[in-house]
Chain A
Amino acid sequence: MSDSPLRQARWRDPDPTRCVGWLPTGRVTLADFQRRIGAWQACLDTLAEPGRCYALHDRDPLVFASALLALWERGDSALLPADDRPETLAGVDALTRARLGDVPGGHRPSTGAAPRWGTLSAERTALWLYTSGSTGAAKRIPKSFAQLDAELATHRDLWPLEGRLTISQVSHQHIYGLLFAILRPLVEAAPMAGALCRYPETLHAWLAALDETSQTVLISAPPPLERLPETLDWPRVRQRLAAVYSSGAPLPAAAGRRTQRLLDAPVRELYGSSDTGGIAWRGVPRQDDAWTPLPGIAVRADRDDDHLWLRSPYLDSRDWQRQADRIREAGDGRFQLLGRADRIAKVGGKRLSLTAMDRALEAADGVRRARTVVLPEPSGRLGAIVQLDPAGIPIEHGARRQRIAALRERLARAFEPTVIPRAWRFVETWPVNAQGKLTVERVERLFRDRLDHRQPRWLGVEASADGCCHVTLEVPERLAHLAGHFPGRPVVPGVVMIQWTCDLAREHLGVTGAFSRLERVKFPQLLPPGERVTLALEWHGDMQRLDFRLSGRHGCHASGRMHFRAGDPS
């Protein structure tokens, strides 16, 4: 078989009735598709002479594919913006002649014309992709026809499509979707679904609409696979599904097994990146988490710091290249992924530079410092720790919502909704430990209320003197104890405030001994959800007595003294 699948250009075949695009509502033949290529070229002819670069973004796989081929065959190249955010597109404009596709100001194809075929030479740059660089600035990566061809040939030899219909649930603005959902069907003369398949119900209906003998492959990612509903009648349609592919982030083993059980098809995970191309794969079922390098790829772990060293035919250089991921060699040629050594994360399957997000937050009014972190599963979303000017700290629900809305709105200019932080922790002082570090433990402490809905939101502690401290807290809107206390006017019950006080005194002042009694306890002001409060604690060890006062903008919510028995806590 040819090792230059793209340059074989199967879309030029004189095979007018071949199916290129499929939807339950109809199909697109190769003749139709060639006319679309011609129509794009007619549009490009009005814009510039060949040899330019165009920004291309379109959610419709066939519109995207026909535009890409029109550019290549005309002698142009494409730059694929990572998303359609205004700031992303503005950054791309300076590098390109014009925008094509479903973005503001994007050109659309003119009406039908015969396509012109050109020359796709190996070393020519076919396109540029973006990847989030670890410094925070997006990195632009060129791909030559030879590089794309090397990958496409590898995938084709491992898992040939053999005419199966490709159904995609991922964006083709990124390397994985581009290769698997667009270029592979094009070079293997196989059909692709004529739209993105966003929902499991859509997948089910499409499979049901195909005739008995049709076969498909699903190009997917962890977010949709982790959320496949059990309630759809998969056994009725799944014999038409030959394989499932997943990439973008590791698929948890349990989600992999569940996918295989529901869809009864092999699940193959790909590991790689825009800069490196594909590196390795693994299948379900699997005995362990290890990855097998793709043919032609060599992998080893750095002896000192576990960094992945990679030698790949898809890279410009044939030398060993050091990567930011850390690995452990399994001893049989395979390897385990240990995680990133830099601040690049996967959020909802999207690669994101946390440094870039931190900087974007720090550019907002009133923000002094920001640090974003990936929240533990099952959320997997972003949490933000934000130090604000003291005057800007929100002290009640409405102000907090407004502040968050303003930050979200600002971030939405440059980031997709998926990666915008979901949990916000506003602090007055940067929550470092005694060594001046924002540690993993501190970060975990700031978000612990998400895992235990009986706890207050902890926003920092300051020791004022020996045995004394101030703890900043917020009352979570979803606090478990609020439910049903007073209908329509939720407040924190006094007993809960006492429990918080007791717990925080043990945590921060090392109070031990069983609780024995309370005295002089008062609850002067009701405490509703969303309030920001300070808990002042004063421990008199000689008397085993804790003085406390919980106060906020309306004054005191709780105060009193708590006595503890000497000895072990109970």
Chain B
Amino acid sequence: MTTDLEHELKQLIIDTLELEDVTPEDVDPDEPLFVEGLGLDSIDALELGLALQKRYGIQLEADSDETRRHFANLRTLAALVEARRTQ
């Protein structure tokens, strides 16, 4: 099951990172976003952090391991947004 928020985040990822061979249906919520899966990298992580701040007012924590844990897959990302959104 994909929630509305998960769908919104899929579209956010696709639009922010200009992924052209991916549709929201292609993003498995449990698949890793980085390296395997969508094959994202550290520059994408920076872009995604900026997009999350802009759209949801989320400030990421300084600990890069913690950040990476939230970016692991779509579900963990949705949980982060759910818990921390201010807008």
Contacts and interface: CB of A to CB of B under 8 A. Distances in A.
B50 A227 contact: yes
A420 to B, nearest CB: 7
A423 B20 contact: yes
A200 B46 CA distance: 8
B47 interface: yes
Contact of B41 (A401, A416, A478, A529): A416
Contact of B59 (A201, A379, A404, A477): A201
Contact of B62 (A202, A422, A423): A202
A229 B50 contact: yes
Interface in A201-237: 201-202, 204-206, 223-224, 227, 229, 231-232
A529 B20 CA distance: 11
Interface residues of A, number: 35
Contact of A478 (B14, B42, B50, B53): B14
A450 interface: yes
Given A417-B35, A418-B42, A227 B62 contact: no
Nearest to A383: B20
B20 A476 contact: yes
Interface string A394-425: 00010011001000100010001110101110
B53 A450 contact: no
Interface string B17-50: 0111111001000000011000111110111011
Contacts of B59: 201, 231-232
B40 to A, nearest CB: 7
B46 A422 contact: no
A379 B18 contact: yes
A278 interface: no
Nearest to B14: A478
B82 interface: no
Contacts of A322: none
Interface string A470-503: 0000001110000000000000000000000000
Nearest to B47: A227
Most buried by A among B19, B20, B47, B61: B20
Contact of A227 (B23, B34, B46): B46
B63 interface: yes
Interface string B45-74: 111011001000001111110010000000
B60 A201 contact: yes
B15 interface: yes
Contacts of B35: 417
A481 B8 CA distance: 18
Nearest to B46: A227
Contact of A229 (B19, B20, B21, B49): B49
Given A232-B59, A397-B23, A199 B18 contact: no
B39 A477 contact: no
A198 interface: yes
Contacts of A477: 14, 20-23
A378 to B, nearest CB: 9
21 contacts: A198-B45, A198-B64, A199-B45, A199-B62, A205-B61, A224-B46, A227-B47, A417-B35, A417-B40, A417-B41, A418-B41, A418-B43, A422-B18, A422-B19, A423-B20, A424-B21, A476-B20, A477-B20, A477-B21, A477-B22, A477-B23
Instruction: Give the 8 A-B residue pairs with the shortest CB-CB distance, closest first.
Output: A205-B62, A417-B41, A227-B46, A201-B62, A202-B62, A201-B60, A198-B64, A418-B41
Interface of A: 198-202, 204-206, 223-224, 227, 229, 231-232, 348, 379, 397, 400-401, 404, 408, 412, 416-418, 420, 422-424, 450, 476-478, 529-530
